[in-house]
A and B are shown apart, each in its own frame.
Chain A
Amino acid sequence: MALRWAVFGLAALLLNFPVIATAVTAFKAPGEVTRNPSLWIEEPTLANFAAVLTASDRLNIYHHLGNSLVAALIGAVLPLVVAFPLAWAMVRRGVGRGVLFPVVVNLRALPLIIFAIPLYMMYAAAGLLDTRLGLGLVLAVVNLPLAVLLLVNAVGDIPAELEEAARMDGARLPRLLLRVVLPLCRPAFVTAFVFGFITAWNEFLFGLILTTREAVPVTVGASFFFATAGGGVQWGMAAAVMVVAALPPLVLGLVMYRRITGSVMAGAVKG
């Protein structure tokens, strides 16, 4: 057992090393960062976080965090809204089983760059470039396959007799879906939302191509701290901004880590 604990400790350290080292650096004073690259902090300070939280203009972190929050919420909720009625029709009536289902599920396998460039053209024409809505819409596409998979599985797990009983009581379809099926699918909704929000928050390529100033998400905004003019990168500040940018999905993911396991499984079962 001791050897197993040692292997666990080593794996945890190795896999999480960049995160640990970045978090440590974020608490070092600017002078210490260049003098002391070890994992030991001589004089812990919050100065880097203060600097990140008060930076202005292009480096305004609240602006980036707000953009990420709005876009990730759209990207996590919209797929559930459009996928839910179809998931029910697919399970109970076979709607879209033959073509729609494989097409949507296989979207996951395509390189995102394929979507990014034509979307740039369309967004330029539609006025969606550099908007939170535009970014959120494309993030919804990214999350669509998993939402469909999880909801189809969830509806499939509901005994048909249960729905028939509700029908007998005179419930019409919209009522049946919202009052009977939806509550029973709640775990799937939560799982899809958690994983979708994390995926959307962490997305980088679409932010890089489809936003320039107003709707820049925090993944792209954080990289601005690495490109500040004059004097090179301020590593303490750069480390602090990465901690701030990574914190929301990390907190959500660690609180709900069992959901992550569930979504990885669902995504893999269908390949």
Chain B
Amino acid sequence: MRSRAFENAVLASPLVLFLLAILGFPALLSLVYAVSETTFRTLTAPRFVGGANFAAVWADGAFWRAAWFSLRFGAITAVLQCALGLFLAVYLYPLIRRHGWMVAVLIVPMIVAPAMMGLMYRLVLHEFVGPVPHYLYLWFGWSPAFLSPANVFATVVAAETLQWTPFAFLLFLAAYGAIPQDLREAAMVDGTRPWRLFWRIELPLMMPTVFVALFVRFIDGFRVFDNIYTLVGAGPGGATTSLSIYIFETFLRRAEIGKAMAAAVLLFLASTLLFVAARALVLRGREGRG
């Protein structure tokens, strides 16, 4: 029995050691730096300041604006992606069942780096070289300033939604395909109309997947960085500063390392809380619908 315990330890050790080295040690470091005052010049000599960094973050209006941005961005993009993805999956299913390659065409955006996507939008929306303003002027004689303070939020929401709708689409496609065919046929024999079939039978069966998709897309939207950063950075007047961008700017631009660490610790706690809460919702949703 002793050799079995030893075997188990050996089997688990590569992953455990790797995690301790790459995450455990930095986690300790971040706790040290979160309660210290440090600049890039005094990296090795942090000065203990207690809870001052946390107090500074807590009192920083920009931090709360960033938190509000991330929550709103995560919630809105998750709902839009799931609505659009659900529609595409259900409506295109009869075609896709016979032409599998259609899936490949629709998931291209997922395979492009979000950072590249942000840069591509810089080109596509550019007022002189971008095709979007070009065609809007050509057809409607008008084009909005996509990156102005008034419009920039809608622009980044649209960019995120269009890139990650395929993710929700894939999940719904699988869930829809898993509904037993005889269930549909039985309903059709009873004279149930397609709309009713969807609302009364198919959608309730897909509800667990809807919750999972909303949850996963919210998490990814909440922590957004790459595409917003390469498209507009912190945005006009900080209008697109997500929590990730706030911490990045505090760290690299303003070199307030202790404050950035304290914000990161707070973000960690907030994410964990959100995660636990959302997970509970998902699990309840699953059980509730059987």
Contact = CB atoms under 8 A, between A and B. Distances in A.
Contact of B15 (A1, A83, A116, A239): A83
Nearest to B134: A37
A21 B12 contact: no
Contacts of A15: 106, 108-109, 162-163, 165-166
A235 B120 CA distance: 10
A29 B22 CA distance: 46
A125 B32 CA distance: 15
A192 B117 CA distance: 23
B243 interface: yes
Contacts of A96: 12
Name the interface size band of chain A: 35 or more
Contact of B260 (A108, A111, A117, A253): A117
Contact of B174 (A4, A21, A104, A265): A265
A184 interface: no
B213 interface: yes
A114 B112 contact: no
Nearest to B167: A264
B95 A246 contact: no
Given A121-B33, A239-B123, A250-B108, A115 B26 contact: yes
Contacts, number: 267
Nearest to B137: A37
B155 to A, nearest CB: 12
A265 B169 CA distance: 11
Contacts of B12: 85-86, 89, 95-96, 100
Contacts of A111: 222-223, 225, 243-244, 267, 271
Interface stretch (A6-14, A52-60, A162-170): A6-14
B145 interface: no
A66 interface: no
B275 interface: yes
A108 B215 CA distance: 12
Interface in A205-256: 205, 208-209, 219-220, 222-223, 226, 235, 238-239, 242, 245-246, 249-250, 253-254
Secondary structure type dominating chain A contacts: helix
Contacts of A86: 11-12, 14-16
Contact of B105 (A12, A141, A235, A271): A12
A189 interface: no
B26 A119 contact: yes
Contacts of A46: none
B129 A249 contact: no
B131 A121 contact: no
A253 B111 contact: yes
A253 to B, nearest CB: 4
Interface string B208-223: 0100110110010011
A118 B29 CA distance: 6
A223 to B, nearest CB: 6
Contact of A246 (B113, B123, B260, B271): B113
Interface string B127-142: 0111111110000000
B103 A261 contact: yes
A4 B106 CA distance: 14
Interface stretch (B48-56, B86-94, B192-200): B86-94
B111 A18 contact: no
B102 interface: yes
A83 B223 CA distance: 26
Interface in A71-122: 78, 81-83, 85-86, 88-89, 93, 95-96, 100, 104, 106-122
B79 interface: no
A140 interface: yes
A268 B225 CA distance: 22
User: Chain A CB within 10 Å — which of B122, B131, B132, B162 has the most?
Assistant: B131
A263 B188 CA distance: 34
Q: Which of B111, B119, B128, B247 has the most CB of A within 10 A?
A: B111
Contacts of B128: 34, 37
A47 interface: no
B124 interface: yes
B201 interface: no
Given A38-B135, A86-B12, A265-B170, A245 B113 contact: yes
Given A111-B243, A267-B216, A261 B174 contact: yes
B232 interface: no
Contacts of A205: 225-226, 244, 248
Contacts of A50: none
Interface in A23-50: 24-25, 33-34, 37-39
A202 B113 contact: yes
6 contacts: A95-B8, A112-B223, A201-B113, A203-B113, A242-B119, A253-B110
Pairs A-B, 7 closest by C-beta atoms: A118-B26, A202-B113, A111-B223, A204-B115, A253-B111, A18-B120, A37-B134
Given A118-B30, A124-B43, 15 more contacts: A4-B91, A7-B91, A107-B23, A111-B223, A114-B267, A114-B271, A120-B251, A121-B43, A141-B22, A141-B23, A148-B15, A198-B111, A249-B113, A250-B108, A260-B170
